[in-house]
Amino acid sequence: MFKPMLLLLLGLCGLLLALPATAQEKGLKLPEVQEKVKAAKEGVIPKLKAQSHCPVSGEALTGGEKELAVTYEGHQVRLCCASCEKKFRDFPDRFLFQMFQAGVKPKNVQSTCPVSGEALGKKSVSLWFMNKELKVCCPKCAIKAEKKPATYFDQLEGRKPQSHCPVMGNPIDRETFSIVQGQKIYYCCPGCSDKVAADPNQYFQEAAAKKVAFEPVIGKCPVMEEPVKDRRWWMTYQGRKVYLCCKKCARRFSKRPEQYLQSL
Protein backbone atom coordinates (compact mmCIF):
# COMPACT_ATOMS: atom_id res chain seq x y z
CA MET A 1 0.00 0.00 0.00
CA PHE A 2 2.83 2.36 0.90
CA LYS A 3 4.68 1.90 -2.39
CA PRO A 4 1.70 2.70 -4.70
CA MET A 5 0.90 5.79 -2.63
CA LEU A 6 4.51 6.93 -2.85
CA LEU A 7 4.53 6.49 -6.62
CA LEU A 8 1.27 8.42 -6.89
CA LEU A 9 2.66 11.33 -4.85
CA LEU A 10 5.83 11.40 -6.92
CA GLY A 11 3.75 11.45 -10.09
CA LEU A 12 1.66 14.37 -8.86
CA CYS A 13 4.79 16.32 -7.89
CA GLY A 14 6.22 15.75 -11.35
CA LEU A 15 3.01 17.00 -12.96
CA LEU A 16 2.99 20.15 -10.85
CA LEU A 17 6.61 20.87 -11.68
CA ALA A 18 6.15 20.26 -15.40
CA LEU A 19 3.95 23.29 -16.16
CA PRO A 20 6.23 25.92 -14.61
CA ALA A 21 9.20 24.32 -16.38
CA THR A 22 7.39 24.49 -19.71
CA ALA A 23 6.46 28.09 -19.02
CA GLN A 24 10.06 28.98 -18.24
CA GLU A 25 11.30 27.25 -21.40
CA LYS A 26 8.95 29.41 -23.44
CA GLY A 27 9.90 32.54 -21.55
CA LEU A 28 6.37 32.97 -20.19
CA LYS A 29 5.22 33.41 -16.61
CA LEU A 30 2.75 30.88 -15.19
CA PRO A 31 -0.21 33.33 -15.04
CA GLU A 32 0.33 34.12 -18.72
CA VAL A 33 0.29 30.43 -19.61
CA GLN A 34 -2.93 30.00 -17.63
CA GLU A 35 -4.44 32.96 -19.45
CA LYS A 36 -3.60 31.37 -22.81
CA VAL A 37 -5.21 28.10 -21.75
CA LYS A 38 -8.33 29.97 -20.63
CA ALA A 39 -8.48 31.90 -23.92
CA ALA A 40 -8.22 28.68 -25.91
CA LYS A 41 -11.06 27.11 -23.91
CA GLU A 42 -13.25 30.16 -24.55
CA GLY A 43 -12.69 29.86 -28.29
CA VAL A 44 -10.56 32.98 -28.66
CA ILE A 45 -7.96 30.90 -30.50
CA PRO A 46 -10.04 28.66 -32.77
CA LYS A 47 -8.90 26.11 -35.33
CA LEU A 48 -8.34 28.12 -38.47
CA LYS A 49 -8.30 27.05 -42.09
CA ALA A 50 -6.61 28.58 -45.12
CA GLN A 51 -8.47 31.17 -47.21
CA SER A 52 -10.49 29.83 -50.14
CA HIS A 53 -13.01 32.65 -50.79
CA CYS A 54 -12.85 36.41 -51.29
CA PRO A 55 -13.80 38.07 -47.97
CA VAL A 56 -15.51 40.95 -49.78
CA SER A 57 -17.64 39.27 -52.45
CA GLY A 58 -17.73 35.74 -51.05
CA GLU A 59 -16.66 34.36 -54.44
CA ALA A 60 -14.53 31.22 -54.54
CA LEU A 61 -10.86 31.83 -55.33
CA THR A 62 -9.81 29.63 -58.23
CA GLY A 63 -6.58 31.31 -59.36
CA GLY A 64 -8.20 33.34 -62.14
CA GLU A 65 -6.49 36.24 -63.91
CA LYS A 66 -8.55 38.90 -62.12
CA GLU A 67 -7.59 37.69 -58.66
CA LEU A 68 -5.02 39.60 -56.62
CA ALA A 69 -3.43 39.58 -53.19
CA VAL A 70 -3.08 42.54 -50.83
CA THR A 71 -0.84 42.80 -47.79
CA TYR A 72 -2.14 44.18 -44.51
CA GLU A 73 -0.40 44.13 -41.12
CA GLY A 74 1.97 41.37 -42.13
CA HIS A 75 -0.71 39.21 -43.75
CA GLN A 76 -1.63 38.40 -47.31
CA VAL A 77 -5.34 38.48 -48.16
CA ARG A 78 -6.54 37.17 -51.50
CA LEU A 79 -9.32 39.00 -53.35
CA CYS A 80 -11.31 38.03 -56.42
CA CYS A 81 -10.93 41.32 -58.32
CA ALA A 82 -9.69 44.90 -58.23
CA SER A 83 -13.11 46.33 -57.34
CA CYS A 84 -13.02 44.37 -54.07
CA GLU A 85 -9.67 45.89 -53.19
CA LYS A 86 -11.10 49.37 -52.62
CA LYS A 87 -13.82 48.03 -50.34
CA PHE A 88 -11.23 46.02 -48.42
CA ARG A 89 -8.89 48.99 -48.04
CA ASP A 90 -11.67 51.16 -46.61
CA PHE A 91 -11.94 48.93 -43.54
CA PRO A 92 -9.65 45.86 -43.65
CA ASP A 93 -10.42 44.81 -40.07
CA ARG A 94 -14.10 44.39 -40.96
CA PHE A 95 -13.28 41.72 -43.52
CA LEU A 96 -10.59 40.11 -41.40
CA PHE A 97 -13.15 39.79 -38.61
CA GLN A 98 -15.61 38.18 -41.01
CA MET A 99 -12.89 35.71 -41.93
CA PHE A 100 -12.29 35.12 -38.21
CA GLN A 101 -15.97 34.34 -37.64
CA ALA A 102 -15.80 31.85 -40.52
CA GLY A 103 -12.71 30.21 -39.01
CA VAL A 104 -10.43 31.42 -41.78
CA LYS A 105 -6.93 32.83 -41.40
CA PRO A 106 -4.99 35.08 -43.79
CA LYS A 107 -1.47 34.01 -44.74
CA ASN A 108 1.26 35.48 -42.55
CA VAL A 109 4.09 36.91 -44.67
CA GLN A 110 6.33 38.34 -41.94
CA SER A 111 10.09 38.03 -42.26
CA THR A 112 11.19 40.12 -39.26
CA CYS A 113 10.20 40.48 -35.62
CA PRO A 114 8.32 43.79 -35.06
CA VAL A 115 9.63 43.98 -31.48
CA SER A 116 13.39 43.55 -31.99
CA GLY A 117 13.68 44.08 -35.73
CA GLU A 118 15.58 40.79 -36.00
CA ALA A 119 14.98 38.22 -38.72
CA LEU A 120 12.61 35.41 -37.77
CA GLY A 121 14.33 32.08 -37.19
CA LYS A 122 13.82 28.65 -35.68
CA LYS A 123 13.17 30.09 -32.23
CA SER A 124 10.36 32.36 -33.43
CA VAL A 125 7.10 32.39 -31.48
CA SER A 126 3.60 32.87 -32.87
CA LEU A 127 0.94 34.81 -30.97
CA TRP A 128 -2.67 34.85 -32.15
CA PHE A 129 -5.08 37.76 -31.91
CA MET A 130 -8.38 36.75 -33.46
CA ASN A 131 -7.17 35.24 -36.75
CA LYS A 132 -4.08 37.41 -37.07
CA GLU A 133 -0.74 35.78 -36.32
CA LEU A 134 2.00 37.89 -34.81
CA LYS A 135 5.41 36.28 -35.19
CA VAL A 136 8.26 37.38 -32.93
CA CYS A 137 11.84 36.18 -32.80
CA CYS A 138 11.98 34.87 -29.24
CA PRO A 139 10.01 34.28 -26.02
CA LYS A 140 11.19 37.58 -24.51
CA CYS A 141 9.69 39.50 -27.42
CA ALA A 142 6.52 37.43 -27.06
CA ILE A 143 5.99 38.75 -23.54
CA LYS A 144 6.43 42.34 -24.77
CA ALA A 145 4.08 41.79 -27.71
CA GLU A 146 1.38 40.29 -25.47
CA LYS A 147 1.16 43.55 -23.50
CA LYS A 148 0.44 45.83 -26.48
CA PRO A 149 -0.13 43.76 -29.63
CA ALA A 150 -1.83 46.53 -31.62
CA THR A 151 1.36 48.59 -31.48
CA TYR A 152 3.32 45.85 -33.22
CA PHE A 153 0.66 45.28 -35.86
CA ASP A 154 0.96 49.02 -36.54
CA GLN A 155 4.67 48.51 -37.13
CA LEU A 156 3.98 45.68 -39.56
CA GLU A 157 1.68 47.99 -41.51
CA GLY A 158 4.24 50.80 -41.49
CA ARG A 159 2.24 53.05 -39.20
CA LYS A 160 4.22 55.44 -37.02
CA PRO A 161 3.25 57.46 -33.93
CA GLN A 162 2.11 61.02 -34.57
CA SER A 163 4.95 63.53 -34.75
CA HIS A 164 3.41 66.44 -36.70
CA CYS A 165 0.26 68.51 -36.41
CA PRO A 166 -2.51 67.15 -38.69
CA VAL A 167 -3.59 70.70 -39.61
CA MET A 168 -0.41 72.75 -40.14
CA GLY A 169 2.12 69.96 -40.52
CA ASN A 170 4.43 71.48 -37.88
CA PRO A 171 6.08 69.44 -35.11
CA ILE A 172 3.61 68.73 -32.31
CA ASP A 173 3.54 70.29 -28.87
CA ARG A 174 2.77 67.40 -26.47
CA GLU A 175 1.10 69.83 -24.07
CA THR A 176 -1.47 70.76 -26.71
CA PHE A 177 -3.98 68.05 -27.61
CA SER A 178 -7.63 67.07 -27.72
CA ILE A 179 -9.52 63.77 -27.51
CA VAL A 180 -11.46 63.12 -30.70
CA GLN A 181 -13.43 59.88 -31.14
CA GLY A 182 -11.24 58.10 -28.63
CA GLN A 183 -7.93 59.31 -30.12
CA LYS A 184 -5.48 61.68 -28.49
CA ILE A 185 -4.47 64.15 -31.21
CA TYR A 186 -1.57 66.52 -30.66
CA TYR A 187 -1.23 69.95 -32.33
CA CYS A 188 1.35 72.61 -32.91
CA CYS A 189 -0.90 75.29 -31.36
CA PRO A 190 -4.31 75.52 -29.62
CA GLY A 191 -6.11 76.93 -32.67
CA CYS A 192 -5.66 73.76 -34.72
CA SER A 193 -7.92 71.69 -32.51
CA ASP A 194 -11.00 73.62 -33.64
CA LYS A 195 -10.35 72.72 -37.27
CA VAL A 196 -10.10 69.01 -36.46
CA ALA A 197 -13.27 69.17 -34.36
CA ALA A 198 -15.13 70.75 -37.29
CA ASP A 199 -14.29 67.91 -39.70
CA PRO A 200 -12.64 64.96 -37.94
CA ASN A 201 -13.22 62.52 -40.80
CA GLN A 202 -11.05 64.57 -43.13
CA TYR A 203 -8.08 64.55 -40.78
CA PHE A 204 -8.47 60.91 -39.77
CA GLN A 205 -8.55 59.82 -43.40
CA GLU A 206 -5.51 61.95 -44.20
CA ALA A 207 -3.66 60.43 -41.25
CA ALA A 208 -4.60 56.92 -42.39
CA ALA A 209 -3.26 57.63 -45.88
CA LYS A 210 0.02 58.85 -44.36
CA LYS A 211 0.09 55.83 -42.00
CA VAL A 212 0.03 58.00 -38.88
CA ALA A 213 -1.05 56.22 -35.71
CA PHE A 214 -2.76 58.46 -33.19
CA GLU A 215 -2.59 57.51 -29.53
CA PRO A 216 -5.80 55.68 -28.55
CA VAL A 217 -7.42 56.48 -25.23
CA ILE A 218 -8.33 53.11 -23.75
CA GLY A 219 -11.33 53.53 -21.50
CA LYS A 220 -14.82 52.21 -22.12
CA CYS A 221 -16.01 50.03 -24.98
CA PRO A 222 -18.00 52.21 -27.43
CA VAL A 223 -20.57 49.45 -27.93
CA MET A 224 -21.42 48.23 -24.42
CA GLU A 225 -19.76 51.10 -22.53
CA GLU A 226 -18.00 48.55 -20.33
CA PRO A 227 -14.38 49.07 -19.19
CA VAL A 228 -11.85 47.62 -21.63
CA LYS A 229 -9.69 45.19 -19.69
CA ASP A 230 -8.42 42.92 -22.46
CA ARG A 231 -6.34 44.51 -25.22
CA ARG A 232 -6.88 41.55 -27.52
CA TRP A 233 -10.01 43.09 -29.06
CA TRP A 234 -9.45 46.16 -31.21
CA MET A 235 -10.08 47.45 -34.70
CA THR A 236 -8.36 50.06 -36.82
CA TYR A 237 -10.82 52.15 -38.78
CA GLN A 238 -9.66 54.96 -41.08
CA GLY A 239 -7.01 56.41 -38.80
CA ARG A 240 -8.64 55.44 -35.50
CA LYS A 241 -7.71 52.56 -33.24
CA VAL A 242 -10.70 51.44 -31.21
CA TYR A 243 -10.56 48.94 -28.36
CA LEU A 244 -13.61 46.76 -27.63
CA CYS A 245 -14.48 44.79 -24.50
CA CYS A 246 -15.32 41.47 -26.17
CA LYS A 247 -15.86 39.47 -29.35
CA LYS A 248 -19.55 40.39 -29.61
CA CYS A 249 -18.77 44.09 -29.49
CA ALA A 250 -16.07 43.67 -32.12
CA ARG A 251 -18.68 42.12 -34.42
CA ARG A 252 -21.12 44.99 -33.83
CA PHE A 253 -18.48 47.65 -34.31
CA SER A 254 -17.28 46.07 -37.55
CA LYS A 255 -20.76 46.46 -39.02
CA ARG A 256 -21.50 50.05 -37.89
CA PRO A 257 -18.25 51.84 -36.95
CA GLU A 258 -19.53 55.37 -37.58
CA GLN A 259 -22.44 54.84 -35.20
CA TYR A 260 -20.28 53.68 -32.30
CA LEU A 261 -17.55 56.27 -32.87
CA GLN A 262 -20.00 58.93 -31.76
CA SER A 263 -19.99 57.51 -28.22
CA LEU A 264 -16.22 57.89 -27.83
pLDDT in tens, 87-137: 999 999 999 999 999 999 999 999 999 999 999 998 899 999 999 999 999
Rounded Cα distance between 9 and 3, Å, is 10
Question: What pLDDT band is residue 47 in, cutting at 50, 70 and 90?
Answer: confident
Average pLDDT, the chain: 86
User: Mean per-residue pLDDT for 234-240?
Assistant: 96
pLDDT in tens, 159-204: 999 999 999 999 999 999 999 999 999 999 999 999 999 999 999 9
User: Mean per-residue pLDDT for 30-40?
Assistant: 47
Q: Is the pLDDT of residue 31 over 80?
A: no
Question: What pLDDT band is residue 22 in, cutting at 50, 70 and 90?
Answer: very low
Q: Is the pLDDT of residue 34 over 80?
A: no
Give me the pLDDT at residue 231, please: 87
Query: Exposed/middle/buried for 38, CB within 10 Å: 0-12, 13-18, 19+?
Result: exposed
pLDDT in tens, 213-230: 999 998 899 999 999 988
Select from 165, 171, 170, 163 the least CA-distant residue to 193.
165
Question: What pLDDT band is residue 238 in, cutting at 50, 70 and 90?
Answer: very high
pTM for the complete prediction?
A: 0.81
Rounded Cα distance between 189 and 178, Å, is 11
What is the phi/psi pair of residue 242, to 5°? -120, 125
pLDDT in tens, 56-72: 999 999 999 999 999 99
Rounded Cα distance between 137 and 140, Å, is 8
In 194-262, DSSP assigns E strands to 212-213, 215-216, 234-237, 240-243
pLDDT in tens, 121-135: 988 999 999 999 999
Select from 135, 143, 144, 137 the least CA-distant residue to 123.
137
